[in-house]
Amino acid sequence: MTTNISFLLNGDTISHDIKEHWTLLYLLREELGLIGTKEGCGNGECGACTVIIDKLAVNSCLYLAIEADGKIIETIEGLASTEGNLHPLQQSFVDNGGIQCGFCTPGMIMSSKALLDEKPDADREEIKHALAGNICRCTGYIQIFESVEAAQEKVAANKGGKDE
Ligand code: FES
Ligand code: FES
């Protein structure tokens, strides 16, 4: 069965016909072409598919697309400014070695953004807790935590992202 849903995606209104069994991850990647959001495990264990829905970090592989109706959704594609400047978190991951293969990075950054939007002065333990559901096979995590911390001041000052 096909259903039409509408939602705000990175500041743009999207209206799309979906099948009721589709996940939000499938809708984003396969239907809307937003392949920045990654599919790792496909069952809620790796965090590679993390997006922000109504300010909360969510595993889009476990979230039915039909539930997105009426929601405000942010993906990694929405973070850079319309002029092409990276969001402070993206730039900080580049500058502080938070990226190696990069597969986990969109999920790491979206989980970090949800945290810093809510609590810009989060401490190391709070950052660790926010990223506990995001798995990285490359970095050993320390550079990721440092990347988030190094971005905190700029995120608080600039509240980056074109939807803000
Ligand atoms: S792909 Fe969604 S948690 Fe792994
Ligand atoms: S940078 Fe490779 S999985 Fe994290």
Q: What is the CATH number of the domain that holds 92?
A: 1.10.150.120
CB 149, CB 124: distance < 8 Å: yes
pLDDT digits (tens, 9 = 90+) for 65-115: 999 999 999 999 999 998 989 999 999 999 999 999 999 999 999 999 999
Indicate if 50 and 106 belong to the same structural domain. Answer: no
Indicate if 72 and 127 belong to the same structural domain. Answer: no
Indicate if 63 and 99 belong to the same structural domain. Answer: no
106 CA distance to ligand 2 middle (Å): 10
Q: Which of 39, 56, 78 is the last residue of a domain?
A: 78
164, part of any domain: no
140 CA distance to ligand 2 middle (Å): 9
- Strand residues in 28-145 grouped as ranges (E): 50-53, 56-59, 72-74
Indicate if 9 and 64 belong to the same structural domain. Answer: yes
Kindly give the residue spans of alpha helices, DSSP state H, lying in 19-99: 24-26, 88-95
**Mean pLDDT score, 122-135:** 98
Indicate if 6 and 74 belong to the same structural domain. Answer: yes
Number of domains comprising the chain = 2
Please tell me the pTM assigned to this model. 0.95
Indicate if 9 and 73 belong to the same structural domain. Answer: yes
| Ligand that comes closest to the CA of residue 99 | 2
pLDDT value of position 159: 63
Ligand 2 pocket test, candidate residues 96, 136, 145, most atoms within 8 A of CB: 136
Indicate if 71 and 93 belong to the same structural domain. Answer: no
33 C-beta neighbours (distance < 10 Å), count: 9
If you average pLDDT over every residue of the chain, what do you get? 95
Indicate if 121 and 69 belong to the same structural domain. Answer: no
Which residue range(s) make up the domain with 66? 2-78
